[in-house]
Amino acid sequence: MLIKNITLIDENYDVIKDTNILIEENTIIYIGKEIPKYYHGEVYDGKNKVASPGFFNTHCHVPMTLLRGYGEGLPLDRWLSEKIWPFEKLLTNEDCYYGSLLGIAEMIKSGVVSFNDMYFNLEGISKAVFESGIKANLSYGYADIEGRKDYFNGPAYKETKALNEYIESINSDRIKADVSIHAVYSSSEESVSKISEYCNSRGMNMHIHLSETELEVAECKKRFGLTPAEYFLNCGTFRSNTTAAHCVYLEGDDFSILKENNVSIAHCPSSNLKLGSGIAPLKTMMEHGINVTIGTDGAASNNNLNMLEEVNLAALLHKGTNKDPLFLNSKEMMKISSLNGAKAQGRFNSGVIKVGNRADIVIYDFDKPHMQPIHDVLANILYSAEANDICLSIIDGKIVYKDGVFTNIDIEKVYYNVNRIKNEKLKIINK
Ligand SMILES: [Zn+2]
């Protein structure tokens, strides 16, 4: 496929006007002013459009779209124990398949090409990922619950193993199987150490929640005399390539521990604000050189998976709290939401648009009142654009979304099924 005569955000986040991008199978094979004479295939006209690297949503629980807006107006502990957990207990693989398709549609529509997920029913989630065309690092969020304290005899290990087998069978690296420990407070030290060792021995990525609330940190200190970051370091968790979500309450040596162990942080500003958790110290993280990325978290605590909105919020929030309009400039913000996320996922051939990389390209239509005139392309994307301005999304060389239509998702069928599932579960819960 040839994208002709387009404005491009290149690998240094510089803007190149009137250029051409040639894609062969899943890879970008040429970028340049001349249209390759040998090419006679499909052509996309890029006039008044901008080709941008796709976003990497590094923290999500995608089937939780099924719980969007459920149990609003309750304090966190009651919201979890009275609403979220009883609903989640009823979810099947088929339910998670439809919930995931809904979330994936929402993500693709807002410029996401890949996401990190932590949930259960990985069979349903991975089927949705594979069919939709998006990329994802999927993991089972392990916790010592319901007496299942032996990782290797429980569903987390079983589902992770099955996911690895599925990935082999589809022969695609769009899906990766990661390992996940839900959080410090939901597992024993023995479990955390055992799972960390397994993850490291297999060379898999690790995904955790870390220091999300003040209470979590206070209880960890009481239990172990350590901060959650020190605790996971001691358990060997950070020997694997780790993404730690939230990190709102990092302190003291936590920053250098995360930096030295190459831990990436998934900053989830909407979720942290909506759940009243607080505001993560992004400036200190970045001063320590930590790989900061952006995540939406699940739709139950956000309440959407609109990555463009999340990136916009992060940029505004930290300029405001730091009283520094120069903090997180446009190039930095684009890098945090694309390349840094690809690195966190261990996808080193993605994250920027350059020859040799996977063709993960999101195209914005600038022919809109709020996108004109164009002084600064990046600023228009970060501060003026709406998800509806995305007119084409290419992942691994394939068009997954064009002019409001999903190539591989029957969105009406998804709407029908998520509402059917919602009604069925509520009927059981309210019986
Ligand atoms: Zn989360």
pLDDT of 147 reads: 55
Ligand 1 centroid to residue 61 C-alpha, Å: 6
Q: What pairing do the DSSP bridges indicate for beta strands 398-402 and 405-406?
A: antiparallel
Ligand 1 centroid to residue 183 C-alpha, Å: 10
Distance between CA atoms of residues 232 and 181, nearest Å: 10
Q: What Å distances lie between residue 91 and 239, 319, 422, CA to CA? A: 33, 40, 10
Which residues of the chain have a pLDDT value below 70?
146-148
Ligand 1 centroid to residue 210 C-alpha, Å: 10
pLDDT of 75 reads: 83
Ligand 1 centroid to residue 186 C-alpha, Å: 13
Domains of the chain (ranges, CATH numbers):
2-53+350-406 (2.30.40.10), 55-344 (3.20.20.140)
Distance between CA atoms of residues 148 and 163, nearest Å: 20
Interior CA angle at 138 toward 237 and 416, to 5°?
145
Ligand 1 centroid to residue 244 C-alpha, Å: 10
Ligand 1 centroid to residue 165 C-alpha, Å: 26
Ligand 1 centroid to residue 5 C-alpha, Å: 41
How would you class 262 by CB atoms within 10 Å of its CB: exposed for 0-12, middle for 13-18, buried for 19 or more?
middle
For 100-147, how does the pLDDT look when each residue is reduced to its tens digit (9 = 90+)?
999 999 999 999 999 999 999 999 999 999 999 999 999 999 999 755
Per-state percent for the chain, helix, strand, coil, to nearest 5: 45, 25, 35
pLDDT of 125 reads: 98
Ligand 1 centroid to residue 207 C-alpha, Å: 10
How would you class 304 by CB atoms within 10 Å of its CB: exposed for 0-12, middle for 13-18, buried for 19 or more?
middle
pLDDT of 8 reads: 98
Ligand 1 centroid to residue 152 C-alpha, Å: 23
pLDDT of 148 reads: 62
Question: For the chain, first and last CA: distance in Å?
Answer: 54
Ligand 1 centroid to residue 301 C-alpha, Å: 9
Distance between CA atoms of residues 267 and 328, nearest Å: 13
Q: What pairing do the DSSP bridges indicate for beta strands 361-365 and 291-294?
A: unpaired
pLDDT of 80 reads: 87
Ligand 1 centroid to residue 298 C-alpha, Å: 6
Number of Cβ within a 10 Å radius of residue 27? 15
Write out the two tokens for 137.
């690092």
pLDDT of 146 reads: 54
Write out the two tokens for 68.
């969007």
Which ranges of 203-353 would DSSP assign to H, the alpha helix? 214-224, 228-234, 254-260, 269-274, 282-287, 307-321, 330-337, 339-344
pLDDT of 150 reads: 82
Write out the two tokens for 382.
């970060």
Distance between CA atoms of residues 51 and 23, nearest Å: 13
Ligand 1 centroid to residue 275 C-alpha, Å: 11
Distance between CA atoms of residues 327 and 318, nearest Å: 7
CB 135 within 8 A of CB 113: yes
Ligand 1 centroid to residue 294 C-alpha, Å: 12
Beta bridge partners of 2: 22, 43
Ligand 1 centroid to residue 344 C-alpha, Å: 16
